[in-house]
């Protein structure tokens, strides 16, 4: 953690790289999660499972609103 306190150019670059990788990681995880949820909703709509379809839509709406707030 010492490198966080030293503000040399290489340490700043390292910190920025770590932040970028973390953002990319969580962005990809979010994308995978949302894709799986959308696929599940498509399946529910095809088999006429209306209760699960609308419940899933509401959950997806809540999740995406949480991501947008942060």
Q: Is residue 55 included in any domain, yes or no?
A: yes
Q: How many domains does the chain have?
A: 1
Q: Is residue 54 included in any domain, yes or no?
A: yes
Instruction: Convert the pLDDT of each residue in 24-47 to its tens digit.
Output: 999 999 889 888 888 888 887 777
Assessment of whether the complete model's pTM goes beyond 0.85: no
Q: What are phi and psi of 7, to 5 degrees?
A: -100, 35
Q: Is residue 2 included in any domain, yes or no?
A: no
Q: Is residue 30 included in any domain, yes or no?
A: yes
Q: Is residue 37 included in any domain, yes or no?
A: yes
Chain-centre distance of CA 51, in angstroms? Answer: 25
Q: Is residue 1 included in any domain, yes or no?
A: no
User: How far is 46 from 55, CA to CA, in rounded Å?
Assistant: 15
Residue 59: give the domain boundaries: 9-69
């Amino acid at each position: 953690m010492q490198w966080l306190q030293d503000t040399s150019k290489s340490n700043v670059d390292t910190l920025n790289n770590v932040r970028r990788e973390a953002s990319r990681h969580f962005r990809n995880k979010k994308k995978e999660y949302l894709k799986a949820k959308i696929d599940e909703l498509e399946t529910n709509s095809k088999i006429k499972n209306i209760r699960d379809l609308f419940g899933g839509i509401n959950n997806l709406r809540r999740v995406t609103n949480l991501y947008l707030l942060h």
